[in-house]
Structures are given as structure tokens and as C-alpha cells.
Chain A
């Protein structure tokens, strides 16, 4: 066990955990930030996507010991009142079915649009290709990303 001071959603948080613990489980089990989802544990599905210094990162394969002072943003901290343009577009388009993968989809989309505010349809599809949605909401995901880009 070791003590880590993390910068999560703009707040300093202390955890005493095994240094190999992935951020996914630090967030979920130790900090009760359960918006970041467990899907595969091997960086294949994207359900656990968070921002590490603004870059979309898979929390399931990011050991807490590798984080250091880097700023982490989770779905809970993406916006103060759930009104990030991507979140608003997601609601407007009514993207979710079961909803489980959507936090990861939103985090991927938000980081992508920061870097590419005017993407083409092909760029949107490629950017979202690492996030699996078992319900098949892909068409509405594309639509919502485009809507957020235009807002």
C-alpha cells in the first residue's frame, strides 16, 4: 500500500492503495466516482475513458502510480451542471439506450472535439471507433458529436 495525492476534477484527493491499482478501481471503489465504468479491463471497450491532462485515457490500464500530478477529469467533473456541449448534445439526440457505455463515449468525444473542433464525418467515426456500444447507438453518437461541434 502507498499514499497517493491525486488531482481529480480540480480537487486534491488522497488514497492509500496498492500502487498497481488501475485508476478505474481507485475512482470506483475508493473515491465513489462510479461514472467511470468497468467494461473489459484491457483497454478494448472504452467504457472507462477519463481525461489525463486533457487526453482521453483508458482508466482500466492506468496504474495509480503512473498518474503523479497530472490532472484527471472524470464524467462527474466534465462540467459543473451536466451542461458540457457534448452532454447537452447527448440529451438532445437522446443517444443512450442502456446508457452504460455513454460516459466513456462522452469523455472520448469531449477530448476529441477539444483537439478537432470541426471534424468531418469520417474523423468522428474514427475518433469514436475505440468505444464499444453494445446497444448499437453509434448513429446517434455521430450525430451528437456533430451537434456538439457545431454548438
Chain B
């Protein structure tokens, strides 16, 4: 029996008050516009009873479960309620899921990022379900005058075996609201789970396939205006002047004005990272009319800092590759001495460009700001931080600001930076009207908080037996120092040196799906293959020997290392077995890779299919250790998506600049992977170890870049050092 203290905030137990007033009302009004099926309407209960902030039970036994975190396609809107439903012990078919509004009194960490929703929500979600179940049991015990300990539950039913009494949750829900919240509750034994670990389809699936409004861009409100922005055309420029008057008279246009999204006084949060302080707003009746005015508007800009080009970024990063740091990030042994006595030295430098997030749904937000209150509704990964910024920017207390999250048409880190929501609020305040701010695709792509551009140099020394005796890594990124000094192979090499540099640039950067790992994993795992080849060993055996070293005789304090070498080796062994690595005689070019990030371990084997023209990815085998898998169906979907994403961006995508101006602004010039370029097949295997769950939104992406690079080497005989790989061709000869 596992007893846990109920650490849910007191506000979570204030019953029958609705979820913090305005937020729920706002959300409900908009969501009510979604058509319900006749079955849903006929089965709705007459009364709901809030047992805590996470769930309410209807008098007919239907249960509404709030999904606290933002949904960006990582499927937490299905997975988080599954965890609550499991501990509540209710049939999944009787569960209705609703997106919770921002409510910091009830929920903790309402943020989509770092693959942390499930890991950090695990305990509180289980407690929310278990606490409600406890209260239902107590209510039944009172009603039946039997000891609560003798009452059992199953799929929304309360039972007392000795007396034969039986009741549905709906019948006891009203009485349960009067039960005192327990100090501690019993959680289920994980071996008795009946919802967790089973395939559950996306709860929004029916709405998605029928085109019902779900996303921020779909919001329509009475009297709502549409707004668009005009931002500086180049990084390093700011607003100077414009011919607003000539555009104001265009059809459907209400106003055109210059505004400060961020004044000097605003207390900025990290989520305001790439925010452009001064912008131009075009406000009108419809999107197309705003787009026409945007084309006609002439704005003058002035240079305020260096106009950087990609060639400059590349040269400056290259210079840092030859520059030792004053203070190494980590140093074990003596690499210089080890390189001197090494029988073989391998050295390579890897490069990657800036990347845009390119969520399919461009940035947008609805705001209705009046002197009395502010309502905000839209796609945001960081609503809590947005609220803090709005308190400062609008000069309004948090109680008067309601924030509700819509389902998001992708996130990938872009919507961590809710500057567009701040802009929407400021525009609405100025217009004194409800406003939906819409970015054009071009706006979205050319003012991003990009994945930084990176370079990393590796140097490895082998002794005459092919053992790795020295490892030196030096990395640099634009606005990001890239290197994780305590990740593998730290702890597995006697002489180890990690150094990191930053190149400050005015091209704004931020977290992009699996920050840093999305580049460093591919570079490290490609280099690992080069070193394995130089050592004359099989690439998997070479890695496993290093893990053995980290397990049995670690270098330095093993607690210093970020990873668990046994779990790391575990996924590699699993993928080796599943891909029949040793039977690789099928004429295909294969690459292997393994990486740990966001608390999860992933190993992959990738087969290229040889044919005419460019090699095509055939099958990918993927072994994952993310602890308990909540929803295997969507977990596999996440893994598959991450693999396609990693192959796509490393092969095709790049954001480049000329004099501060982005050279790509839409999908005609920014290439994304398409259907014919995605792998033929992905097969995913999960390690079943009963460990508390960790994240899965990001970990499958980083290693696939290494597996692809290693397979390409087998196919072409050439190492690929520079992304996107499609541009990394040998110089023309003759």
C-alpha cells in the first residue's frame, strides 16, 4: 500500500464554486460553440459536484476531468486525465475532458515545455483522483453505516461485499462533497492499473477530423476585430516612421498605429525573450482586409545595431572553435597528456543553422481588455508567465486577468514566448474592443525566437588497443553555450575536457524542441561512430564498453553525471536485439544512435533504402526508457513524430540571414519534410520497468539525427558534418 500526503492546494477543494469564475465562464462560452453529439447532450447530468479542482462528478456518474496543462500536440490532454481517472477508478468511457484555465491556486506548473508535464504532474494527478475516490468511499460508508475500509471500487461503482450494497459514483457524489479532505490517501499499486498503460485515442480526435473550432485562430466573438502587426524587416532595426493615414481609409480598416508592446518599465519574464518592443498594429474587420493594408503600408526603419549575416555567424562561431575557454566546464584527468600518448586521434567539427519553429498554426491570440478586466484566450505554453507580464504591462492585478488556453496547432517551444499575447492585450486595450491578433506566416517565420546556430568540435584519443583514453569537446552557439558537460561520455573517459562558448547575436533565439540536444546528440553520436570506426570496434559494442566503464568504474563522482548508464545501455541493448543488428547483411545502410535527454533514454537504428537517386529512410527501430508509459498509442505517436521531425530538420531545413534580414519567410523557401521523405516504417519498443514516468515530447528527436548521419556515411562513404545534410555536398571536382 502506498500512502501519500495530499499536497493539493486548499483552493483545489473549494467545492461547487466553479473553476475560479471568469476563466471557466470565458472558456465555456467559447467551447460551447462546439457542436456536441446527440449522445453527449442526452447523457449530460442534471447536476455536477466538484470534488476538487481537478474533477467533478455528475449525478449520473459521468465525470469531467480538467486537463491542467497546455496541449500542443504532445497529447497531455488525454494522458493527464487518464492518470486522474485511473486513481479515481472510473471507466474511461464515462470521462469528459476539459481544458483547465490558468489557475495557480489549484494547479501547479501549467506549462508545456521540457517534456515535463507528465513527470511533474504524476503525483498531483494521482492524488487528485485518489482523494476523490477516498471521499466517495467515505460518503458510501456513512450512508451504508459500514467501515470505509470494507468498501471497494471498480469503474465508477462503490461496493460493500458483506452487505451486498452497491452504488454508482453519481449517487454518492453529493454526499462526498461534505466529506473532509483526508490528510493522506492510498494510491493504487501500479500492477493494478487498468487505464494507465492502455491505448487511448486523442480526446479531441472527433473534433479535429470534423473541423470544429479548437484553436486560437478559430476564435470568433461578437464585435471582435482582427489585428495584424508589422515588425522590423531585419534584426538590428527599429521603427522610425510610417504613412499610416493613407492606409487608415482602406476598406474595413479601423486603425493603424505604432505601439510599445514592451515599455521600459515592464517587468519582463523569461517568456518575453524575443519580444520586439515597438511594433505597428493594423486593426480591421477581417484578416484579408488587414493583409491588404499591411501590403500597402510603408514603414521606415532605422538601424540600431549590427545587421548580421549568416556568413558572420559562421565565421564567428568557427573562431570560437579554436579558442580555449578560461574556465573549463568540466575537466577529468589530463587530456593534453593523453592526446600526446594516443595511438590515434580523431577530430571533427559539426555545424547547424538557425531553425524556425514553424508551428502550422501561426502565432495568434484573443484579448479583450477593458478598464475592469482582461480576458485572454489562445495558444500559449506558458500562461503563468504571461499573467505576470500582463500584471506589469497592463497595470492590473492578477485577479482581474483571466487566461484560458486553446488547443495549439503545434508548439515546439515557440509558444513558450508569449509576446504575441502581450501584443494582443495592448492592442485590445488601445482599441477598447475584443481583438484577435493574427500573425501571417511571414510574420511568424521572420521574427522568431529561433533555434540557435551551433558549432561543436570533438577530439578523441585512442590507445593502441582502440580504447578511448581522451575526449575533448568544445561547443558554441548563438546566445547559447550548447555543451552539457556532465552528459555521456563524461564519467566514462579518464581524460575528459568540456568547454563552452557563447556568441552573442541580435537574432533572437530560444528553446526549440529538445533545446541543444536537437543538435548536440546528432553531432556527438556521429562523432562516436567515427571514433568507433577508428578503434576497429562495432559501433554498438564501442558504446556499450563505455557504459560498462561508467557503471563499474566511473570517472569522477558518478552523482555528477546527468545520466544513469544502466538505463542508457539498456535501450541500446534493446534496439540492438530488436533491429537484429548483428544480422546486418540485408544490403541496407544502417546507423545507430543513443541519447539521454529530458529524463528519458532513447536508442535508435535507422536503415536507409538504396535505390536510384537520394537515399530514403526505410525502417527505424526505436527503444525508449521513459518509465511507466501512460498511453502507449500516443507515446508511439510522439516517438514517430520526433523521428520524422529530426530527420526533416537535419536534412532539409535552415534559416539564414543577409544583413539582418531573414532569407526565408514561407514554405516556398523554408523546406520542411514531406510525406514522400518520411521513413517507410517506425517500430517503437518501451522498456517496462515500473519507474515513475518521464517525458516523451522531445527525447526521440535528438538521437535520430546521429543515426541518420551514420547511415548516410555507410551509404555514401562520406561523413556529413554540416546541417542541413541536403546542402552538405562535396565540392565539385574538375
Contact = CB atoms under 8 A, between A and B. Distances in A.
Interface of A: 1, 17-18, 20-22, 25, 28-30, 32-42, 44-45, 47, 74-76, 78, 82, 87, 90-91, 94, 96-103, 106, 125-126, 128-142
Lowest 9 CB-CB distances: which A-B pairs, in order?
A35-B211, A136-B644, A100-B409, A98-B73, A75-B211, A99-B208, A44-B667, A138-B678, A136-B641
A18 to B, nearest CB: 6
Given A128-B675, A136-B678, A35 B212 contact: yes
A98 B408 contact: yes
A37 B361 contact: yes
A91 B209 CA distance: 8
Given A34-B218, A45-B360, A136-B641, A142 B675 contact: yes
Interface size of B as a range: 35 or more
Given A25-B288, A82-B206, A37 B201 contact: no
A82 B411 CA distance: 27
Nearest to A104: B360
B637 interface: yes
Contacts of B440: 41
Contacts of B205: 90-91, 94, 96, 99
B217 A38 contact: yes
B362 interface: yes
Contacts of A45: 360, 667
A26 B390 CA distance: 33
Interface in B636-694: 637-638, 640-645, 648, 666-668, 672-676, 678-679, 681-682
Nearest to B364: A38
A129 B674 contact: yes
B204 interface: yes
A43 to B, nearest CB: 9
Contacts of B212: 35
A136 B288 contact: no
A142 B675 CA distance: 8
**Secondary structure of the A contact surface, majority rule:** loop
A37 B409 contact: yes
Interface string B618-652: 00000000000000011001101111110010000
Contacts of B410: 98, 100, 134-135
Contacts of B72: 98
Given A18-B288, A99-B208, A100-B361, A91 B678 contact: no
A136 B645 contact: yes
A48 to B, nearest CB: 11
B73 A44 contact: no
A42 to B, nearest CB: 6
B286 A25 contact: yes
B210 A87 contact: yes
B60 interface: no
Nearest to A74: B211
B409 A98 contact: yes
Contacts of A41: 291, 440-441, 666
Nearest to A75: B211
B75 A82 contact: no
B637 to A, nearest CB: 6
A29 B286 contact: yes
Given A87-B209, A139-B640, A133 B360 contact: yes
A106 B209 contact: yes
8 contacts: A20-B288, A25-B287, A34-B220, A74-B211, A96-B205, A98-B73, A99-B214, A99-B407
Nearest to B638: A97
Contacts of B666: 40-42, 44
B634 A94 contact: yes
Given A40-B667, A94-B637, A18 B251 contact: yes
A32 B30 CA distance: 13
A147 to B, nearest CB: 13
Interface in B163-184: none
Interface string B27-50: 000000000000000000000000
B673 A136 contact: yes
B672 A82 contact: no
Nearest to A138: B678
B679 A139 contact: yes
B215 interface: yes
Contacts of B675: 125, 128-129, 131, 133, 138, 141-142
Given A1-B251, A25-B288, A138-B644, A91 B201 contact: yes
Given A94-B634, A101-B409, 12 more contacts: A34-B220, A38-B362, A40-B666, A42-B441, A42-B667, A45-B360, A76-B210, A94-B633, A96-B208, A99-B205, A125-B675, A129-B674
Nearest to B218: A34
Nearest to A145: B675
B358 interface: yes
Among A32, A33, A76, A82: residue with most chain B CB under 10 A: A82
B391 to A, nearest CB: 29
B220 A37 contact: no
Instruction: Identify the interface centre among A40, A75, A78: most chain B CB within 10 Å of its CB.
Output: A40
B381 interface: no
Nearest to B213: A34
A139 B622 CA distance: 15
Given A76-B211, A139-B681, A94 B360 contact: no
A60 to B, nearest CB: 10
Contacts of A87: 209-210
B201 A28 contact: no
B153 interface: no
A18 B292 CA distance: 11
B508 interface: no
Contact of A18 (B73, B214, B289): B289
A137 B75 CA distance: 13
Given A44-B667, A98-B408, A136 B642 contact: yes
A133 B212 CA distance: 19
Interface in B141-156: none
Contacts of A1: 251
Contact of A136 (B201, B204, B286, B640): B640
Contact of B678 (A34, A130, A139): A139
B140 to A, nearest CB: 36
Contacts of A44: 666-668
Interface in B287-311: 287-289, 291-292
A82 B675 CA distance: 25
A94 B201 contact: yes
Contacts of B674: 129-130, 132, 138
B590 to A, nearest CB: 19
A105 to B, nearest CB: 9
Contacts of B634: 94
B113 to A, nearest CB: 15
Nearest to B679: A139
B441 A40 contact: yes
A142 B362 CA distance: 25
Given A29-B288, A40-B441, A98-B73, A132 B211 contact: no
B506 interface: no
B194 interface: no
B217 A37 contact: yes
Contacts of A30: 286
Contacts of A82: 206, 209-210
B370 interface: no
Interface in B184-237: 201-202, 204-206, 208-215, 217-218, 220, 226
A126 B215 CA distance: 29
A94 B220 contact: no
